[in-house]
Chains A and B, each alone.
Chain A
Amino acid sequence: MKIYLPTPLRPYADKRSVVDAPGATIAEAMRSLTNQYPDLKGYIYSDDGNVRGFVNIYLNDEDVRYLPAKMNSPLHDSDTLTIMPSIAGGSNR
């Protein structure tokens, strides 16, 4: 299972843009990711364990929030996960 990390998250994951994270469900793969890179946990999850409101997780091109089983959705080898936080840059620095 490949998880794509955007630029803002890479400092927490050894500057990697793609991480292999095995798991039968999205939640398992995400756990594998945060076990490999514990610094990511605080960025992605709030203290109550929920995914933060400015972070979206996509299974292929679908927002996980709108999948019937959400984080418990099953994964196949060909699937990719993408974590996408909101970014605001534009006109200034």
Chain B
Amino acid sequence: MQGQLKLKAARVLCVGAGGLGSPLAMYLAAAGVGTLGIVDFDVVDASNLHRQVIHFTQDVGRPKLASAEEKVHGINPNVTVRKFETRLTSANALEIFKDFHVVVDGTDNFPTRYLINDACVLSGKPNVYGSIFRFEGQASIFAAPKTTAQEAGPCYRCVYPEPPPPGMVPSCAEGGVLGILPGLVGLIQATETIKLITGLGEPLIGRLLLVDALAMRFREMKLRKNPDCPICGTNRTITKLIDYERFCGLGATAGRPEKSTEKPDTMPNALPEMTVEELKSKLDAKENLFVLDVREPHEYQICNLGDYGAKLIPMGDVQKRQQELDPEQHIVVHCRSGVRSAKVVDFLRQQGFEKVQNLAGGILAWADRIDKTMPKY
């Protein structure tokens, strides 16, 4: 009963209502967490449904927040849901965090992960962390504040002082995502959240849990608080939230083409782009145009622009197969949503290809706006 009352009094903020946030929100609602805050600004897409289980087929096209709230209330009408339909930024993070006891990181990109970490350290709130890549996951509790029971725990920066440069961030789309993996890791985060609230068991502080779903092996690494950590060490140099896009080498200021997510609506416009409508009219007009598809073969099998002569060279092979491309030709590069192709456009331009453009929104935009019969994934 005492634990249940603690859960009822708890206010948990879940950043992201996607793969990790879905199972987390559902189980926290079922467990009786009193207040659940959710930050998300995305809309449900059919391609989300295999892993973002809080959203159903009939929710496609709806805001994820509305969909998630409905399911949470369906599971437990006594949960107070606080919706934040916004991108988490340096300008709003501390304000959003202030009413919550625990923050759960269910995001999918490095800038937001560093932002959540720093905002948790600055506001003294534990950061229940989980992340996945293909068949592997990681989980821990970062920035756990000092209590009577424990010393302050290491933060995300203690463990990973720097993010990978944009060119070295592997894309899940290159190999696909095992849909159940965010469920597994999201429920580890839910378990740790409930343990933090109730004080039960040994929290995952100072330990990094590694989940290998293919081997079904769970391993654990020791994490230490870095005395030189710029935000939680002894000589702190970061005392307020910074520009995380810039920190991660993203955005116009850093001169890199990649953005933090694969969402088409967040694509940068620094690189030469073409819309799917422009591409269609040029192809119909038989303009001399070469369409380069930089996705993986298994993606090509689902849908492609092969009828328009599109050539498949997966992103990882572009460098070594560069001689197959003609620098004099007008080339339009596409991938699924426009992120990988932007990297390739950037690379080819550095190699002296002048007439190369990125297809904004990728083949998803083509499926949405040109050929509605095309399967999406």
CB contact between A90 and one of B130, B161, B210, B221 (< 8 Å): that residue? B130
CB contact between B138 and one of A43, A54, A63, A87 (< 8 Å): that residue? A87
CB contact between B223 and one of A11, A17, A63, A87 (< 8 Å): that residue? A63
Number of residues on chain A facing chain B (CB within 8 A): 26
Q: Answer whether residue B222 sits at the interface, using C-beta atoms and an 8 A cutoff.
A: yes
State the Cβ distance, A59 to closest chain B Cβ, in Å.
10
State the Cβ distance, B239 to closest chain A Cβ, in Å.
21
Contacting B at CB under 8 A, from A10-50, are 11, 17, 43
Report the bound CA distance from A7 to B164 in whole Å: 15
Are A93's CB and B177's CB within 8 A?
yes
Q: Which of A17, A53, A93 has the largest count of B CB atoms less than 10 A from its CB? A: A93
Q: Answer whether residue B99 sits at the interface, using C-beta atoms and an 8 A cutoff.
A: no
Are B164's CB and A52's CB within 8 A?
yes
Chain B residue contacts of A89, Cβ below 8 A: 108, 131-134, 172, 177
Q: Answer whether residue A78 sits at the interface, using C-beta atoms and an 8 A cutoff.
A: no
Known: A62-B222, A85-B164. A92 touches B261 (CB 8 A): yes
Q: Could you give, for residues 195-225 of chain B, a 1 whenever the CB lies within 8 Å of some chain A CB and a 0 otherwise?
A: 0000000000000101000010001111110
Chain A residue contacts of B135, Cβ below 8 A: 7
Known: A62-B222, A90-B131. A52 touches B162 (CB 8 A): yes
Are A90's CB and B19's CB within 8 A?
yes
Report the bound CA distance from A58 to B222 in whole Å: 9
CB contact between A91 and one of B16, B47, B171, B220 (< 8 Å): that residue? B16
The number of residue pairs between A and B whose CB atoms lie closer than 8 Å in the complex comes to: 117
Are A91's CB and B136's CB within 8 A?
no
Are B221's CB and A11's CB within 8 A?
no
Question: Chain B interface residue count: which class?
Answer: 35 or more
State the Cβ distance, A60 to closest chain B Cβ, in Å.
9
Known: A7-B136, A66-B224, A84-B221. A91 touches B110 (CB 8 A): no
Are B163's CB and A86's CB within 8 A?
yes
Chain B residue contacts of A54, Cβ below 8 A: 160-164, 168
Chain B contact residues, majority secondary structure: loop
Q: Answer whether residue B75 sits at the interface, using C-beta atoms and an 8 A cutoff.
A: no
Contacting A at CB under 8 A, from B79-137, are 105-110, 113, 130-136
Report the bound CA distance from A56 to B210 in whole Å: 13
Q: Answer whether residue B31 sits at the interface, using C-beta atoms and an 8 A cutoff.
A: no
State the Cβ distance, B320 to closest chain A Cβ, in Å.
11
Q: Answer whether residue B21 sits at the interface, using C-beta atoms and an 8 A cutoff.
A: yes
- Please list the residues of chain B having a beta carbon within 8 angstroms of any beta carbon in chain A: 16-21, 40, 42, 47, 52, 105-110, 113, 130-136, 138, 159-164, 168-173, 175, 177, 182, 185, 208, 210, 215, 219-224, 261-263, 316, 336-337
9 A-B pairs (CB sep. < 8 Å): A6-B210, A52-B164, A53-B162, A54-B162, A61-B221, A61-B222, A89-B177, A90-B16, A91-B107
* Shortest beta-carbon contacts, A-B, top 6: A91-B18, A53-B162, A87-B133, A92-B108, A91-B16, A86-B160
